[in-house]
Amino acid sequence: MWLLYISCAWIAGVFSGSKVGFPFAIIFSSFLPFLLIPLLPDNKKKLAAIALCLLVFCGGNIHFLSSQPQIDKHFLCFYNDGGTVEIQGMVAYDPDVRVKFCLLKLSASEINVDGVGKEVSGTALVRVPRYPAYHYGDVLQLTGKLETPVPFDDFNYKSYLAQQEIYSIIYYPKIEILERGKGFNPLQWLHSIRESLSSTLARALPEPHSSLAQGILLGIRNNIPDPLSQAFSRTGTAHLLAISGLHLSIIIGVALSLGILVFGRQYHTYIWIALLVTWLYTLLSGMRPPVIRAAIMGSLFLMAEFLGRQRSAITALALAAAVMVGVKPQILWSVSFQLSFLAITGLVFLFPHFQKWGRKGVTALFGDREAIANIGNMVSDSFALTLAAMIPIWPLIACNFGVLSLVALPATFFSLPALPAIIATTTLVAFTGLLAPIAAQILGWVDWLFLSYLLLVIHGFDALRFSSLELNTFPHWQIWGYYIVLAVEMALLNHRK
C-alpha cells in the first residue's frame, strides 16, 4: 500500500503546484516525522511512511513549477502578437480535418522576424483550408501572425491548448511545402496506413455508415455529420466514438467475456487475447497519446488479472498515473486522462461485483440449462461492464460537456453488443479493400447491417422525450461529494467479508 500512498502524494503535490508554490520552510518541515522516530520507535514505520509521502508531495509541487515553460527568445510563444513572422517547422501529428478547415500541429524549428532568423522550439496550432491536403512529416514554411489563444463562448481555449503544450495559434497563413516525409518512419507508415484504410471505408460504405465506421475503428470523427454527433452526445454514447479509457475498458471487457466463453479460463488465453485486441486497436486508432495512456492502464489491469492480484491493480494504475503526470504534469487536467483512469478504476472495483451478482441472477432464473445460461451470462456481463464503466465517469462528462444523458445506460447497453461485430467487420472491410475493392464492397453489406443497428438504437433513444438535460453549470463541490461517496462505497464493497 505504500506505493499507492506515494503515488497519490505525488499527484496531489503536482496539483498543489498549479495553485501555490510552497516556501522552503514548508518543504523542510516534511523532514520532521523523521526526527520523531527516535522518540516514538514503536511507530517508526508509520512515521517513515508519512515523511516519505510529505517529501514526495513537496517534490510534486516543485516539479510542476519547474515544468512550466521558460518564455524567452528561443520559445515560440515569445513572438505572439508581434506582427507577421516567418516560421519553419514540421507537421508533428496527423492533421485534424474538419468540414470547412483543417488544423495542423506544427513543431517549430526556426523563426524569422524582421529578416533575422532564430532557432526556436514549441508547437503552434495552425488553421488552414481543407485543401490542399497536408500530412504528418511535411516540412512547411509559414508566413503569418502568431496569436495568443483567447477564450470564446465561456470556453477557456487557452487553457485547453496549454494542456497540449500549445501556446500559439496561426490563422490561414501563407504556406510553402519545403519537404515531405520527414517524420519518424514507423509513425509515417502508420499514418499512411490509416489514410488508406479510411479511403477504403469511404468507398465501401454509404454515409453516414462510412464516417461512423471510421470513427469507431480509426478514431477519425471529423466526417461524422453534426446531427448524428449530437445524437451520440445526447444519448450518452459519445464514448463509443471517442477512443479513450471508457472506450478501451468496454473493448477489454467484451474481449475478456468472449475469450472466456470460447477458451475458458485455462492457460489465461482470454487475457492474452484481450491484451492483443487492446494494442491492435490502439495501433489502428493512430497511437495518439490519450489512447496510449488508456491502453497502458488497461494493460496494467489485465496483468493484475493474469497474476491473480486484482486488488493490486489500483496500485499499479495509481503508479502509472503518477509516472504519466511526472512526465507531463499538464495531463492531470486532460479530460481523456481523467476518463481513462476513472473508467479503468470502475472496471477494477465495480465490475467483478456486478458480474457476480448478474451471474447469480442468471443461475437463479435458468438453473442447469447451460446453453441459455451462457447467453444470459454474456448479457449480464455486458450490462455489468457498462454500469461499472459509466458510474465513475458520468459526472465528469456532464461537467465538461454540459449534457447529462438520462438514457446513457440503456443506450450503451443496447449498443454494446454491436460494437465487437462492428470492429471486426469494419477491420475486415478496411484491410480487404486494400487488396480487393470489390470484395470489400460485398463485405461492406455485412458491416452495414451492424452499423444500421447501432444507428437505429442511437436515433431511437435520442427521439425519446427528456432523453438528456443541458446543464449550464455543474458545481464542483457536488462532483467532489459524489466521488467521495463513491470511493467510500467501493472501499466497503472490496473489504467486506
- At residue 310, the pLDDT reads 56
Query: At residue 268, what is the residue type?
Result: H
- Tell me the average pLDDT of the chain: 81
Has residue 494 got a pLDDT over 80?
A: no
Q: What is the DSSP letter of 152?
A: B
Q: For residues 164 and 157, what is the distance between their CA atoms, to the nearest angstrom?
A: 11
Has residue 385 got a pLDDT over 90?
A: no
Residue 8's CB is within 10 A of a number of other CB atoms, namely 16
- At residue 35, the pLDDT reads 67
Q: Which of 29-33, 230-234, 350-354, 400-404 has the lowest mean pLDDT?
A: 29-33
Match 449530437 to its residue by C-alpha cell.
Answer: 230
pLDDT tens-digit series, residues 154-163: 677 887 788 7
Confidence band (pLDDT; 50, 70, 90) for 448? very high
- Give the mean model confidence (pLDDT) for residues 242-268: 72
Confidence band (pLDDT; 50, 70, 90) for 137? confident
Match 475503428 to its residue by C-alpha cell.
Answer: 217
Tell me which of 267 and 427 has the higher pLDDT.
427
Q: What is the DSSP letter of 235?
A: T
pTM: 0.72
- At residue 382, the pLDDT reads 73
Burial 182-201 (b: 16+ CB within 10 A, else e): ebeeebbebbebbbebbebb
Contact 232, 470 (CB under 8 A): no
- At residue 171, the pLDDT reads 92
- At residue 247, the pLDDT reads 67
Q: For residues 214 and 193, what is the distance between their CA atoms, to the nearest angstrom?
A: 13
Match 451492424 to its residue by C-alpha cell.
Answer: 450
Highest-pLDDT range among 88-102, 230-244, 380-394, 406-420: 88-102
Has residue 39 got a pLDDT over 80?
A: no
Has residue 453 got a pLDDT over 90?
A: yes
Contact 259, 251 (CB under 8 A): no
- At residue 449, the pLDDT reads 93
**Is the bond preceding residue 208 a cis peptide, omega within 30 degrees?**
yes
Q: For residues 163 and 171, what is the distance between their CA atoms, to the nearest angstrom?
A: 20
- At residue 127, the pLDDT reads 92
Helix, strand, coil percentages (3-state) for the chain, rounded to 5, are 65, 15, 25
Highest-pLDDT range among 280-289, 304-313, 451-460: 451-460
Match 432523453 to its residue by C-alpha cell.
Answer: 467
Which H or E element spans position 116?
Answer: strand 116-119
Range list of β-strands (E), 287-352: none
pLDDT tens-digit series, residues 342-366: 877 887 788 888 888 888 888 888 7
Which H or E element spans position 77?
Answer: none
Query: At residue 106, what is the residue type?
Result: L
- At residue 28, the pLDDT reads 65
Contact 97, 132 (CB under 8 A): no
Which H or E element spans position 482?
Answer: helix 476-495
Q: Which of 33, 27, 32, 26 is nearest to 47 (CA)?
A: 33
